[in-house]
Structure 1
Amino acid sequence: MSALWGFVLNLTVSDGQSLLRGDTLYRTIGVTSTDLGIQLQAERERSVVAVTTRQLTEDLGEQRARTDKAVTAFQQAAVEADDSISDDMRTPLATLRAELGRLGSIRSGIDDGFSSRLTGLIEYNRVLDAMFRFYDHLTPVPDLSVYQQASSLQTMGNAREFIAREHALIRAALIDKRLTEPEASAFTEYVSSREFLHARGQAGLDVQLRQPYQQLFQSEPFLGFATMEARIIRTGAPPPDAQAWNTAVDQLTTRLDKLGAESAATLAERAASGANAIKVEIAVAGGVGLVAVLASIVISVRFGRRLAAELAGLRAAAVELSEQRLPALVDRLSNGEEVNVGKEAKPIKVSGSAEITDVAKAFGSVQRTAVHAAVGQAALRRGVGQVFLNLARRKQGLLHRQLSLLDAMQRRTHDPDQLEELFRLDHLTTRMRRHAESLIILSGAAPGRAWRKPVPVVDIVRAAVAEVEDYTRVTVAGMPGSAIDGGAAADLTHLIAELVENATIYSPPNSNVEVRGDRVSNGYTIEVEDRGLGLPAGEYAAYNALLVNPPEFDLADSDRLGLFVVAKLAERHGIKVLLRRSPFGGTTAIVLVPAALVTDQAELTAGGDDTAALPSRTRKKALAVVSSGTHAGLPRRVRQANLSSRLKDGPPPEPEPERTNERSPDEVRDMFSAFQRGTQRAREEANEEGEA
């Protein structure tokens, strides 16, 4: 309504402004230009006579003074009406001003005798032609019919100008009783232009305005004037009776001027009537339109308030659904709770228009769909987790059976080469068991391995390294004597094994991975450092965020399965894991075990006694980590590598003579037989501890 009101008001106000502009132009430029045209016509007639008689009369000087006064008034009026002058009027106005500026040179040519009678006449005609072209743009009337009639009356006035040109030329020719050939041609041209303009003007006038002109053109003054025009054209000489010519011209121009004034008055009445109609339109468009706009504003405000209240209720219900109910429902489903879909997907209750209730129903439908989808996803995740758990348990059982078979085969085998292959197969089986435990952890269950007594940290680290394929590249530094609670030892071993394996995979094959640990004020810290290429800072931040707050495992994100396992194990026991760039260019993984899980020990025994808390198989792998070399692929113990610090304080043992020759096959067979008997005895001890 506001736009429509503004559009209509703009149209009507534009018409009103056009009327005001037209009135301003008429009172300023219109009045002064009319007087200027009359003065120029009079000066032109007297100047042509002066050229013919070669006498500059006092009457000519007075006329020039009146013309100059009219020019000054016109220039002032043009400045006053500058704001009302349209763009299409400025060009003809500038042309007229330029022609008026030539009056001085025109007068000088006449006064000095350089201009002929026809030349002077033509120069004044140019000035008047510029004025009539300006008149054509001086009728800014919004009413089209009034504009057309005004243009036709302007054409009739232009025809009146050609009668004045004929009179000026013939009056001068009557003095010397002759017309030159160019003058006769010019007279013929004036007559033709006058006839054309009269015919054109009459064709555009309506019946009321055209009838007076038709009567004039059929009257005696005009017919006599036309007869004399025809005779002058035929003979090429001025009329013999000067008095008759002057009388006919005076009578004709007087009646034309009177008729033009009467027609202009009639047209002015029509324009006034149109102006009144425009004023009424402005009043209606402004007043009634304003009332309609105000009424629409009041209605819109009331409707908008009601709609805003309804939308606020709908928004509150939607916000509660999206920010409270659905997130709480998802959390309950993630925690494994059973959810009643009919109870949780309650409809959204809002009141208001039909559109608002329809939107509320649509939100309710979306809510039910979302709840069904969330319940279905939760059931799917539980099913997938159960599948993981079942498969992992079955795989774990098969691996335990496989390990038992390997133990039996090792006890029955005395061939060194076969023992080496069995040892490698045993190592692969241990790694497979860790992967099976990873599936159990991702499914949300516990692997099941635990010990009653605290386990030394160094044994946990060695056992973790022993479960890595490329364990020979791992260097375990000396660690302070501390132990970890037996309930968390297996999970910590698994966690460190994942970090160590990740370090060996993403570092050059010829580089070492260092594992070191130390007791700190708030627990025990273990660092795993590799010499790889490292990661961008953004990836470190993303991985650390995952380790601090592990999300629900995404089946599509299997590339980071090891990190998910580490995060779940760390979350279970309150262990903090942090990844950062190593000073050597690789990555350092820092594991901070909380103080609640750490137990101080005054001294850890050396040799096999420090691994007594571990089962036989884990103990065997842990012993392999401290080897510094191999014989036929088997571990070789370093003498006194794990000797107690108090024993080391005694006299240094005598150096063992270096063996220059390899062991004989019999010696190797005896060594592996002893190794087999030792592992069997350790396994039996571990089984007794588990049963206890």
Structure 2
Amino acid sequence: MSSERVGLMAGRKRSIRFKIFAILLVPLTALAVIWGFAATLTVQSGLELLKIQTVYDNVVVPTRTLLGDIQQERLLSAAYLGRKSSVRDELDAQRKRTDASVEELARVSQNAQDETPPAMWQRIEELIGQVRKFDALRGRVDDHGLSRLEAIEDYSAVAEVGFQAYDRLMISPDMDLIEQTKAIILIGRSREVMSQESALITGVLAIGRISPDERDAFAKMVGQRRLLYQLGTSQLDAELIKGFAAVNASPAYASFMSMENEIMVGVQPNTRLPRDADVWHTTTEGLVATFSQISGDGSKAIADRALPLAKGALYRIGIAGALGLIAVIATLFISVRFARGLTTELVGLRRAAHELADRRLPAIVQRLRRGEDVDVVAETPPIVTRGDTAEVVEVGNAFTSVQHTAVEAAVGQAELRKGVGNVFLNLARRSQSLLQRQLALLDELEQQVPDPDTMEKLFAVDHLTTRMRRHAEGLIILSGAHPGRGWRNPVSLFDVARAAVEEVEDYLRVSVVVPQGPAVIGGSVTDLVHLLAELVENATIFSPPHTQVIVRGEVVARGFAVEIEDRGLGISPEELAQLNERLADPPEFDLADSDRLGLFVVGLLARRHGVRVSLRSSPYGGTSAVVLLPKEIVVENAGDEHSVERLIPPRPPAPPVLALTPPAADAAVDTSADPAGDSLPRRVRQENLAPQLREEPRDVFGSFQAGWQRAQEES
């Protein structure tokens, strides 16, 4: 998985507290929204009921007044067009009243603009605008430029705008109020048609005859009036129908109905009407005024009904809002309380899990690595969780079981490692003992055998035995113990380097360039020889057989530095970094990782003595290992050759390819000697041979090479 994707996955992680809050937020938000929506609808309903009274006082009443003035001006205009000049003064006065009414409507309606429905307000503005343009219509009336019927139609068109404003008065959500308001509006329209009839007949009576168009228009008006009136009164409730029922039973309404029938049925076009103008005008205008009064009273009654409804709605709003708010708060309190309790339980469980994973288990593992005994029962107390959530308690019990199993497994693993280490140590000690005896036996044979060829073979076996001893010591180091060999006095670093080279199979390819003066304290000699031998052998293995491996040493500011350089293929930067990390901080030994045993042993030995080992690329393409010995283990050699212990075993003498700086490099010391002694016995090659068996050094070296090659072929 790429690092970018891991980063994205980590960025999407959320805490338990956040997720619980998100879970609770959804229903709480939905509940709050529903409560708010219901409260808003109820409040809006109450406010709309309260608007009715404001709209009635500031819009409906002045509009009804203006429509009455328009109807009266229409009536007088029709009479004036009927050649009845006596109404001129009355017509002019009515025009002034109409103008005053429209300005009053324009003024007072501003008080209710916000409460008036937009469609109704638009019709009111249109009505005001058209009335203000009556000058053109009035001029045509004054000049007799249009017929009576045309004048009635023009005035009626403007009045229609006012009634359309009434149609858009439906601002109440109460269905009963809506139905009663519609009924009053229908009756108002029928009253408007009655006014049109009055204007038409008044104009006709001025000249005494009715034209065919006027008769047809009158018949249409009668049918329309009766239909609207019947529809309106049929929808009124018992309270509002009382006034209209009284009118219906009155002699005036019966006389009006009779005159309508006489004009529609008994009067032919271009004939005189059966009654005079005074009777018609008195009867019709009286009924128009009566209907106007009753309709106004009905409108007022409807507006008055809205007030208690509004108060009741607001009262219900208060109760519902309070109960809803209490429910929301209670739900929020209970949810938050349970969420907080659950969060506390989960956080406590998480804290216990982190305590187990980050502190207790690592501490137990460290104790096991140090070899301490661990009581599984005492180290795995049950994880106690606060709260009573069954699932959390079960998870806590599961964690308790997991920690017991983990500690038990760690103890078992430690015991297994300890057992394997003991097996390694036992086998290594046995092998070391046998190899020491074998080396002692080889020393005796080397002193007794006079044959050069046999001597060379013994030297080869001796060299193999020395390498086997190093591997046995490696097992001892891996088991955590110390090798049996040790020295009391400081040993020259030159001899330490040569001893390390002598323990490598392909030692003939190694050149040693180390100064004679510096020495290392006795307690670090064995481990340092082993450390250098592992690095030198690694250099010879991973470099071509025809190349040289150089071991250099010099004094530096922080101690003594030894560099082992090969001419191999080198190591990639990534692998080099991993190896240096393992050398600086050796991990716990893994039985499955057997390919890097040498470097693991080097890391352990370096950590034991405070030595720093690092790998780097060589300018020749290979790899260089730099070993920095701290000042604490490096001393200055006193210069007395006999006071410094020699580590070079009595193996085949170093060939000429070895760059041996000191002249005494050929001197050899027996490592099976007593380490507690101040000096080791010195032995010279061919010292015990008969003179005739001794060979020249160069011939001996040739024989050694031949024997070495045979030993390699046999192995």
Q: What TM bracket, shorter-length normalisation?
A: 0.5 to 0.7
> Retained in 1: the 8 A contact 2:48–2:172?
no
1:97 aligns with 2:130: no
Question: Which of 551, 555, 563 is matched with 1:519 structurally?
Answer: 555
With the length of structure 2 as denominator, give the TM-score of the two structures: 0.65
Identify which of 604, 608, 617 aligns with 1:568.
604
Would you say 1:72 and 2:106 are equivalent positions? yes
Residue 370 of structure 1 deviates from its aligned partner by 0.7
Identify the residue that residue 171 of structure 2 maps to in structure 1.
Answer: 140
In 1: Cα distance, 2:204 partner to 2:545 partner: 125
Structure 2: distance between partners of 1:348 and 1:160: 90
CA contact (8 A) 1:473 1:511 kept: yes
User: Please, which runs of 5 or more residues in structure 2 have no aligned partner?
Assistant: 1-26, 666-695, 710-715
**Structure 1 CA distance for aligned equivalents of residues 184 and 98 of structure 2:** 29
After TM superposition, list the pairs within 5 Å mapping 1:34-49 onto structure 2: 34-43=61-70, 45-47=72-74, 49=76
What residue number does 2:11 align with?
Answer: none
Structure 1 segments unaligned to the other structure (5+ residues): 624-634, 646-665, 680-692
| Distance in 1 of aligned mates of 2:260 and 2:504 | 129
| Partner Cα distance (1:130, 1:555) in 2 | 102
Q: How does 1:651-670 map to 2 (within 5 A)?
A: none
Residue 369 of structure 1 is matched in structure 2 by: 402
The counterpart of 1:335, out of the listed 352, 370, 378, is 370
Counterpart-to-counterpart distance in 1, 2:627 and 2:364: 34
Could you say if the C-alpha distance between residues 426 and 667 of structure 1 is closer, same or farther in structure 2, counting changes exceeding 3 Å? closer
Paired positions, count: 627
SS of 1:592 mapped into structure 2: strand
Measured after TM superposition, the shift of residue 233 of structure 1 is: 6.4
Asked if 2 retains the 8 angstrom alpha-carbon contact of 1:99 and 1:127, the reply is yes
In 1: Cα distance, 2:639 partner to 2:68 partner? 135
Question: Which of 473, 476, 484 is the aligned partner of 2:520?
Answer: 484
Identity %: 32
* Change beyond 3 A, Cα 1:676–1:268: same
CA RMSD of aligned residues (A): 6.0
SS at match of 2:573: coil
Counterpart code for 1:535? P
Alignment pair present for 1:637 and 2:657: yes
Q: Distance in 2 between matches of 1:505 and 1:168?
A: 130
SS in 1 for 2:555: strand
User: How far did residue 613 of structure 1 move?
Assistant: 0.8
- Which string of whole-angstrom CA distances, capped at 9 and with x for unpartnered residues, describes residues 201-252 of structure 1? 4565445545765665576555655565566667796992444544443344
| CA distance in 2: counterparts of 1:556 and 1:142, whole angstroms | 84
1:19 to 46, 59, 68: 46
Partners of 1:254 and 1:290 in 2: CA distance: 53
- Residue identity matched to 1:637: V
RCO (CA 8 Å, sep 6+): is it higher in 1 or 2? 2
Q: Which residue of 2 aligns with 1:257?
A: 292
Q: Within 1, Cα distance between the matches of 2:107 and 2:211?
A: 37
Match of 2:573 among 518, 522, 535: 535
Matched residue type, 1:341: V
Quick check: 1:671 aligned with 2:701? Answer: yes
Q: Deviations over 1:303-325 (max 9, x none)?
A: 99999999998888777666654
Please tell me whether the aligned partners of residues 74 and 155 of structure 2 are also in contact (alpha carbons under 8 angstroms): no
Whole-angstrom CA distance in 1 between matches of 2:219 and 2:550: 121
1:70 CA drift (Å): 2.5
Question: 1:349-385: CA deviations, max 9, x gaps?
Answer: 67x76449x8467535522431332221331244256
**CA displacement, residues 552-595 of structure 1 (integer Å, 9 cap, x when unaligned):** 34667778776654443332222334567889999876543332
Alignment of 1:30-429 (within 5 A): 30-43=57-70, 45-47=72-74, 49-50=76-77, 53=80, 57-78=91-112, 81-82=113-114, 84=115, 89-94=117-122, 96-98=124-126, 100-111=128-139, 125=156, 127-172=158-203, 174-175=205-206, 177-178=209-210, 181=213, 194=225, 197-198=228-229, 200-201=231-232, 204-206=235-237, 208-209=239-240, 213=244, 221-222=252-253, 225=256, 240=273, 241=275, 242-268=277-303, 270-285=305-320, 325-347=360-382, 354-355=388-389, 359=392, 362-384=395-417, 386-387=419-420, 390=423
Name the SS for the 2:647 alignment partner.
Answer: coil
Q: Which moved more, 1:228-237 or 1:591-600?
A: 228-237
Cα distance in 2 for partners of 1:641, 1:109 equals: 136
Secondary structure, in 3 states, of the residue corresponding to 1:101? helix
The Cα of 1:598 is off from its aligned counterpart by 1.8
State the distance in 1 between where 2:644 and 2:620 align: 33
1:66 aligned partner, one-letter code: A
Q: How does 1:440-451 map to 2 (within 5 A)?
A: 441-446=477-482, 450-451=486-487
Q: Which moved more, 1:253-262 or 1:298-307?
A: 298-307
CA distance in 1, matches of 2:282, 2:602: 126
CA contact (8 A) 1:36 1:74 kept: no
